[in-house]
Every structure is written in structure tokens, then in C-alpha cells.
Amino acid sequence: MKAAGRLPPAIEAVFPDAMPLEAFLEAGRKALAPLGFRRENAIACVGLCRDERTRAMVDAIHACWGEAFNFSSLGGMLLLGKTGFRAALGHAPNEDGRERPVFFAMPHLAISEEGGIGRCARPGRKGTSAACGALRALLEEIEGGGPELELDPDDLEYGLLKRRLHRKLGGAEVSGLVELTRVAHEVVREDLETLISRCVDVERCDFAVFTGIQLHGDGGAECVWPGARYAVVGGERRDLDLRD
């Protein structure tokens, strides 16, 4: 991974509010510290895409918060349901009788130095390939007349992704992969907050939410466009400022 610093120009041109990955995580850690969240008393819960390019963020979260509970699915969709979500809460440290999960959930998008949207190089593979491949495939279906929404039992994650985004779009057109990725972010945020509302007891649990879009640049550059970022402590929401 490149050291935290300036954004790659191609990423900055599309997401001017993005942050280098390590800066994003360190700012989140500092913002949560005064609210009682520490590596020793919290558990990270991470929902990203299955793509190996997202591993850089998983590793960085592990370095910051320790081993994490895995929420991940194609496109970053949250398909674990209430059972999986409650399992994560059941793994959290309970210092002073309180649990402190820190939720990270987001889709991802590659942007090459030449401004190629959704394309990235992979070690040992000639040319470029898609990131996010699942969202790219859905975009191609949309542009081809609309996605097939009948569930294929041999392709459940992609089928559920299509159904969820189709419901969110409500028949609206999308201008390209950037817009579709932003829509996917809204879906991920909504679904995370729905699971929280159904599973988290604020009488005994404080929690933090970080959503956004994970962005991959050339040469291992990793960035995040921040979406929702807040904590709920003692039942009270606190918005988090990640900028100096």
C-alpha cells in the first residue's frame, strides 16, 4: 500500500472528498477514542466486496482494531442477515457490561491513473479487469435492457445484489459505474442501519458506523470516500469529524 498522503489525481478528480485509507482509519480511531472505543474493548465488523483488492482495507482495519468479524459479500452487500449480525455482537468484548462494535461497510471502485473507471491491473494478469466486477456486470445488464431478477440457486449473492439495487433504483437510469457505485453505497448504508435498528440494544451497546466507497488507484494506492461516520454512545448519536 502507498503511504498516506496526497490522493492520486485520477481519484481526486472523481472523488475530491476522498481520503487516503490509512488517514481515514486513523482519523476514525482518534475520533472514537474520547468516546470510549479502544482496540481492547471493541470489535470491528467489516462488510466489503469479496474482491482480493479489498484486502488492503481489511488488513488496515485489523492493524487498527484487531481481528474483525466478516460481513463481506459481492459488491459489499450486507447479506448476513440478523443471525449473522447478532453473532458478531455476541463476539464483542463487553467491558463494563457494554459492547462496542465498529462497523465498516462499503462497495468499491477502481480508478486508474488514466482515468479508467472500474478497471485495475492485477498481479500476473495481462491487461486490466473490473473492480467492482459485480457492479460492472449489473451495469451491463441495465444498459442491455434490464437485469434478470429471477434467483439462480447457483448465483445467489449476485442475484440478491441485483434485486436489492433494482429496488433502490426503482426503474431510474444510471449514468455509469460511478453513479451505480454511489447507489450501492446508499443501499449498504441503509441495510446496515436497518440491521442495527433490529439487532442492537443501545441499553448495553455503544457502536460506530463508517460507510463510504473504497477506491483503488494504480500502484497499490488505496483511498476511501467517506459516507456516514458517526457513533452512538449511551443512546445518543455523535457525528464524527474525520478532518483536521
Give yes or no for residue 2 having a pLDDT over 70: no
Determine the pLDDT at residue 193: 98
Positions of E strands within the chain: 19-20, 43-47, 68-70, 101-105, 108-110, 119-120, 129-130, 207-216, 222-233, 236-239
Number of helices (H), then strands (E), belonging to the chain: the values are 7, 10
Q: Determine what percent of the chain is predicted with pLDDT higher than 90.
A: 84
Mean per-residue pLDDT for 3-11? 76
- Chain segment 178-204, per-residue pLDDT in tens: 999 999 999 999 999 999 999 999 999
Residue 219's pLDDT is 84
* pLDDT at site 5: 62
d(CA 11, CA 114): 10
pLDDT at 3: 39
Name the grid cell of 64.
487498527
The end-to-end CA distance of the chain, in Å, is 23
Q: Quick one: pLDDT at residue 244?
A: 67
Q: What is the mean pLDDT of residues 11-34?
A: 96
Q: List, in order, residues 6 or more apart from 80 with CB less than 8 Å away.
A: 47, 71, 73
Average pLDDT over residues 49-76: 96
Query: Positive or negative CA dihedral for 176, 179, 185, 191?
Result: negative
Confidence at residue 1, expressed as pLDDT on a 0 to 100 scale? 35
Domains and CATH numbers, the chain: 9-230 (3.40.1050)
SS3 annotation, 131-156: CCHHHHHHHHHHHCCCCCCCCCCCCH
Q: Is the peptide bond before 64 cis (omega within 30 degrees of 0)?
A: no
Q: What does the alpha-carbon distance between residue 132 and residue 108 come to, in Å, rounded to a whole number?
A: 6
For 68, list phi and psi in degrees, rounded to 5: -115, 155
Q: Is the pLDDT of residue 206 over 80?
A: yes
The predicted-structure confidence for 102-154, as pLDDT tens digits, reads as follows 999 999 999 988 878 988 778 777 777 788 999 999 999 999 988 999 999 99
What's the average model confidence in pLDDT over 3-25?
88
Mean pLDDT, the chain, rounded, equals: 93
Pairing mode of beta strands 222-233, 19-20: antiparallel
Which tens digits make up the pLDDT trace of 25-62?
A: 999 999 999 999 999 999 999 999 999 999 999 999 99
